[in-house]
Structure 1
Amino acid sequence: MSISESYPPAFRCVINDGDPQGTAKVEPVLLHDKEIDIPVIDLERLDKEILTEACREWGIFRLENHGVPLELMSRLQEISESLLSLPFENKRELFAAVKSPLSYFWGTPALNRSGDALKRGTQASNVTMVEGFNVPLSSLSKLPASTSCGDDDAAAQHSQLESFRVLMEEYGRHITRIAVTLFEAIAQTLNLELSGDKRSEYLSESTGLIRVYRYPEAAGEALGMEVHTDSSVISILKEDETGGLEIMKNEEWFRVKPVANTLIVNLGDMMQAISDDKYKSVEHRVKKKDMKKERHSVCYFVFPQRDCVIKSSNYKPFTYSEFEAQVQADVQSLGTKIGLPRFTPKSPLYV
């Protein structure tokens, strides 16, 4: 099988010919991008002053000594790459056939809670160069066990899927532990007095989901992930050595260089609202320029409970469910997320 057969058809002309059909939209660069070193947080020796500055000035930091076994991360990357390298039609059929809570997406990172791609208003014809799997951690136990039915290839694929589930469950336990530890430390830097119930409302472990991404190699320049902020409380990224992540700081784009055996943590919109805008939800994107190899990454997102009311002096009170619904409505009608400005009373976008 040619590697191009594993990609969605809309990707293949970009990979081979540098996007002659104009299907891959490229964001304009505000200024010349260059590499930057983001703050580093040691999870074993959490320094609250460094954490505060990272959240206030950056909204993103690198995490070392995180406690996730390196062998687990290596095995997870290996099985993820193997599943994503299956033929395109096989990937589409694999999850549908077993009625899996997992889902396969491609061409857009704009998904609903179930992992289905949202139709994107005026930008519906644009395709971003990303595909992957959406994995709701709380539903992994509902993944049907593999059976011996079908041909050898189908049996092997279902066996791979079962291995993927087991690894995801283990990785999910580690990454959830990290998210809870960081959130509690960040809340302390904000002097938030959170009871156990309130903490679980603001950071609901049951909402945790993981998305496994593959960005194909491409001729020329192609957009892997458009400029956006995350809607989460916290997002935790494990990436390979390829690079491509860029962040916005002081109206300039900077490339974040990959560092082996570390994780990247960024704050989402909910953390910005909870902090009364003291901390920032960082704008970021994935941009690929003449990349000779694929980029693989795994990102964990965690959110408040859907009925949790977010109160802030800078925004009208809203539940996470209301925020999520507004984001999806904007993506479907306008083609892009607006996010927190929708909930600013003084904004003309206030509804």
Structure 2
Amino acid sequence: MSITESYPPAFRRVINDGAPSATAEIEPVLVQDKDIDVPVIDFECLDKEILTEACRDWGIFRLKNHGVPLPLMSQLQEISESLLSLPFENKQKLFAAVNSPMSYFWGTPALNRSGDALKRGAQASNVSMVEGFNVPLSKLPASTSCDDDAQRSELESFRVLIEEYGRHITRIAVSLFEAIAQTLNLELSSHQKSGYLLESTGLIRVYRYPPSDKTAGEALGMEVHTDSSVISILKEDETGGLEIMKDEEWFRVKPVADTLIVNLGDMMQAISDNEYKSVEHRVKKKDMTTKRHSVCYFVFPQRDCVIKSSNYKPFTYSDFEAQVQADVQSLGTKIGLLRFTPESPLFL
């Protein structure tokens, strides 16, 4: 099988000859060719001053000594890449199994929590060069089934590995949230903590960005966005491609082996009353001839948890989620927290 056959049909022309398809999203190319070192947090001995600065001035930091076993991370990447290398049609069938909440997506990072692609408005470009798997951790079955014995074995290995990885990464997210809350002097009860960051909402998305000829430009990948989460935790390979907005400029975040990238989402910005920022970011590979693989964990508030802030109208996460979906479907893009400022009328 040609490796090209593992990608969705809409990707194949770009991979083969570098010519963007008619629906591929093209953003302005990166003007500044700059790498940047984001703050580093040692998870074994959290420095609250460094953490405060990272959350306030950056909205993103690198986590070292995180305690996730390196063999587990390596095995998860290996099995994920193997599954993603299956023929496109096989992936669609494999993850359409009735007994599995895991799903396969491609062409857009705009998904609902179930992993279904959101229908986007006519103003949006419809294809981004990304595909992957959506895995809601709390809904993982005890085992997986598949007609093909070899694929069943591989899918079961993936389930076991991602379940174990999820336990580690959830532990990290809960500890980081508690530390961040302390830097904000938020005195939260156990009920409030679980309201703001509910472990059962945690989901993992495995992403693959295909290679393409450099003539396709550096614009293909994941569009500019902020995460709707409280906290997002990224494990990426050595290819790189993550870029962040800092002081009105775009910078490439250099990959560092055996570390994790943590970024704050919209909910953390609202909870902090805008003291901390939800970082704008995108993915644009510098090396277009190499595929990129990453695994990202997202965790959210309880759906009926009310977020109160002097900068926003009171809203529940359910309100926010519904508004984002409405904006994506009608306008083709997410508006996010700006919809909930006192002067902004809601779209819904």
Q: Give the TM-score normalised by the residue count of structure 1.
A: 0.95
Q: Which residue is 1:102 aligned to? A: 102
What CA distance in whole angstroms lies between the structure 1 residues aligned with 2:245 and 2:33?
10
Aligned partner letter, 2:144: A
Matches within 5 A, 1:267-306: 267-306=264-303
What CA distance in whole angstroms lies between the structure 1 residues aligned with 2:20 and 2:261?
34
Q: Which residue is 2:198 aligned to? A: 204
1:190 to 184, 205, 224: 184
Aligned partner letter, 2:189: S
Please state if 1:236 is matched with 2:233: yes
The number of aligned residues is 345
**Segment drifting more, 219-228 vs 192-201:** 219-228
What CA distance in whole angstroms lies between the structure 1 residues aligned with 2:167 and 2:15?
36
What CA distance in whole angstroms lies between the structure 2 residues aligned with 1:130 and 1:21?
14
Aligned partner letter, 2:28: P
Regions of 4+ moved over 4 Å:
348-351
Deviation per CA, 1:70-112: give whole Å up to 9, x if none: 0000000000000000000000000213531000000000001
Displacement, 1:20? 4.5
Aligned partner letter, 1:15: I
Q: Which residue is 1:318 aligned to? A: 315
1:143 and 1:333, CA in 2 relative to 1: closer, same or farther beyond 3 A? farther
* Cα pair 1:344 1:350 within 8 Å, conserved: no
* Cα pair 2:124 2:333 within 8 Å, conserved: no
Q: Which residue is 2:144 aligned to? A: 145
Aligned partner letter, 1:266: N
What CA distance in whole angstroms lies between the structure 1 residues aligned with 2:29 and 2:276?
25
Q: Secondary structure at the match of 2:297?
A: strand
Aligned partner letter, 2:5: E
Q: Which residue is 2:304 aligned to? A: 307
Structure 1: runs of 5 or more not aligned: none
1:335 to 328, 332, 335: 332
Q: Secondary structure at the match of 1:97?
A: coil
* Cα pair 1:60 1:267 within 8 Å, conserved: yes
Aligned partner letter, 1:337: K
Please state if 1:16 is matched with 2:11: no
Displacement, 1:22? 3.3
Q: Please give the root-mean-square deviation of Cα atoms over the aligned residues, in Å.
A: 1.5
Please state if 1:159 is matched with 2:158: no
Q: Secondary structure at the match of 1:96?
A: coil
Q: Secondary structure at the match of 1:311?
A: strand
Structure 2: runs of 5 or more not aligned: none
Deviation per CA, 1:246-301: give whole Å up to 9, x if none: 00001100000000000000000000000000000000000124522110000000
Deviation per CA, 1:36-60: give whole Å up to 9, x if none: 0000000001000000000000000
Displacement, 1:114? 1.0
Please state if 1:43 is matched with 2:37: no
1:346 and 1:11, CA in 2 relative to 1: closer, same or farther beyond 3 A? same
What CA distance in whole angstroms lies between the structure 1 residues aligned with 2:142 and 2:94?
12
Q: Which residue is 1:112 aligned to? A: 112
- % identical aligned pairs: 83
* Cα pair 2:100 2:144 within 8 Å, conserved: no
What CA distance in whole angstroms lies between the structure 1 residues aligned with 2:21 and 2:278?
34
Matches within 5 A, 1:1-150: 1-29=1-29, 31-123=31-123, 125-140=125-140, 142=141, 144-146=143-145, 150=147
What CA distance in whole angstroms lies between the structure 1 residues aligned with 2:190 and 2:20?
55
1:285 and 1:276, CA in 2 relative to 1: closer, same or farther beyond 3 A? same
Q: Which residue is 2:170 aligned to? A: 176
Displacement, 1:126? 2.6
* Cα pair 1:38 1:256 within 8 Å, conserved: yes
